[in-house]
Amino acid sequence: MAKIRAAVCHEFNAPLVIEDVELRAPETGEVEVTLEACAICHSDISYIDGGWGGALPAVYGHEAAGRISAIGDGVTGYAVGDAVLVTLIRSCGTCTPCATGTAVHCDTPYDRQNGPLSAADGGAMEHGLACGAFAEKAVVHRSQIAKLPDDMSMEAACLMACGVITGVGAVVNTAQIRPGQNVVVIGAGGVGLNAIQGARIAGAGRIIAVDMVPEKLEIAKEFGATDGILATDPKPWSAARKITGRGADAVFVTVGAIQAYDTATRYLAPGGRMVMVGMPHSGATTSYEPVIIAAMGQEMVGSLMGDTVLSRDIPWMVDLYQQGRLKLDELISGRWSLDQINEAIADTKSGAARRNVILFK
């Protein structure tokens, strides 16, 4: 067992505590990654705030990158020293979802309470989101990593572990946007900006950003939005229809706000699709008139982690980044140390941050 520093959640809706925890060596099919960067995602915050339940104490964090420092039996294709990203997408490779290309929905259970982490006194500790990356090192299944160029910035690379693939993937994989189609993206935060640049990469015609903050709409244009509409306008969907002439072929809800879900379908053209990306707390509900959706031939579909297949999607995203066509560095709004993680979380919750990154070196 190795002793490492980690940010531990002992109580929901309370500050994390920096302390020593125990991390066991990688077992069969696992790797140990010495982390260099881990971004803060709103999913981490939802867990920290108790919005999705779970066992405590726990170490969260799932949007990370670093270098392999140990390899368990049965792992091939990787070597100690390889630069990799670390994500929560854990797949067995053999269940029906994995075998049919939807590894994000792997249905092989994983016991996070009996994972690689334990408290300094030997007590149980939740391996949050199957990653536990708010720590100096992480032990994860080999399916949760993807190789990176050796010279790639780790603080940029870590963003592809969740926020980037979730936003870009929702557009490219889930909605399969075609050139010339019109899209609306509700929420111009970290995931929303990636949905916007995903739409730009896909060749969308009009890309309309909707947010409550004027400054965010200006930033959205830097990532590819052609238009911006304030969510606080009396009828923002009417403004969107004036721009497109008929409504949106797809609307992406990238925030977990119920108000956004309440109005999302109003932006749709006949035959349009609402893609649900942002995740409200458990128990939150919204409602729609089924007759309108049926009569208009519209759809609602969920998108988890952008329906990403790591081995397929990370290489082309890295290539686009190296070409300057996928913005990663521009997503980073703050760099913090592990000791500053509570301040970084507070800044993220304020809504001002695109992505805050914890640096371990």
Per-residue pLDDT reduced to its tens digit, 227-249 = 999 999 999 999 999 999 999 99
Residue 177 contacts residue 250 (beta carbons within 8 Å): yes
pLDDT tens per residue, range 173-187: 999 999 999 999 999
Please report where in the chains the tokens 């939802």 appear, as a residue: 46
DSSP string, 124-150: B-EEGGGT--SBSEEEEEGGGEEE--T
| Alpha-carbon dihedral 135, 139, 144, 150, rounded to 10 degrees | 70
Q: Output the domain CATH number for residue 180.
A: 3.40.50.720
Instruction: Tell me the whole-structure pTM to 2 decimals.
Output: 0.96
Q: Mark whether 248 and 349 lie in a shared domain.
A: no
- Does the pLDDT at position 115 exceed 80? yes
Report the C-alpha gap between 13 and 108 in whole angstroms.
30
Q: Is 77 helix (H, G, I), strand (E, B) or coil?
A: coil
pLDDT of residue 17: 98
Give me the mean pLDDT over the 151-163 stretch: 98
Q: Which amino acid is at 191?
A: V
Average pLDDT over residues 18-23: 98
Considering the domain boundaries, does residue 321 fall inside one?
no
Tokens of 161: 């572990």
Say yes or no: 118 and 157 in one domain: yes
With a cut of 80, say whether residue 10 has pLDDT above it: yes
Separation between Cα atoms, residue 38 and residue 18, nearest integer Å: 15
Amino acid at 76: T
223/331 Cα distance (integer angstroms): 10
Residue type, 226: T
d(CA 9, CA 2): 20
CA atoms within 13 A on the CB side of 241: 14
pLDDT of residue 351: 86
Pair 17, 113 in one domain? yes
The reply to whether 135 and 213 lie within a common domain is no
Are 106 and 98 within 8 A, CB to CB? yes
Whether 218 has a pLDDT exceeding 80, the answer reads yes
Alpha-helix runs per DSSP H in the chain: 42-48, 96-99, 154-157, 163-169, 190-202, 214-222, 236-244, 258-263, 290-295, 310-323, 341-349
pLDDT exceeds cutoff 90 at 1: no
Nearest to 198 by CA among 303, 270, 97: 303
Question: What is the mean predicted confidence (pLDDT) over 264-276?
Answer: 98
Q: Tell me the pLDDT band of 348, cut-offs 50, 70 and 90.
A: very high
Do 50 and 92 fall within a single domain? yes
Both 97 and 185 in a single domain?
A: no
- Amino acid letter, residue 336: W
Decide if pLDDT at 215 tops 80: yes
Q: Are 201 and 220 in contact (CB under 8 A)?
A: no
Q: How confident is the model at residue 353 (pLDDT cuts 50, 70, 90)?
A: confident
Question: In this structure, is residue 243 part of a structural domain?
Answer: yes
Give the whole-number percent of the chain exceeding pLDDT 70: 100
In a domain, 287, yes or no: yes
Average pLDDT over residues 280-288: 94
Q: Which pLDDT does position 352 carry in this prediction? A: 81
Number of domains in the chain: 2
The answer to whether 274 and 140 have CB atoms below 8 angstroms apart is no
Asked whether residue 209 falls in the same domain as residue 285, the answer is yes
- Please report whether residue 153 resides in a domain: yes
For the cut 80, the answer to whether the pLDDT of residue 332 exceeds it is: yes
- Domain that residue 217 falls in: 166-304
Last residue of a domain, one of 267, 289, 304: 304
Cα 84 from chain centroid (whole Å):
17
The answer on 265 and 295 residing in a single domain is: yes
Write down the pLDDT at residue 224.
98
Residues 6 and 153 in one domain: yes
Q: Is the CB of residue 301 less than 8 Å from the CB of residue 275?
A: yes
- Is the residue at 311 inside a domain? no
Does some domain include residue 313? no
Is the pLDDT score of 270 beyond 80? Answer: yes
Residues 14 and 51 grouped into a single domain: yes
> Is the pLDDT at 142 greater than 80, yes or no?
yes
Q: Do 85 and 178 belong together in one domain?
A: no
Which pLDDT score, from 0 to 100, does residue 361 have? 76
**Does residue 316 belong to any structural domain of this protein?**
no
Whether 310 maps to a domain, the answer reads no
Query: What CATH number did the domain enclosing 347 receive?
Result: 3.90.180.10
Averaged confidence pLDDT in the chain: 97
187/125 same-domain check: no
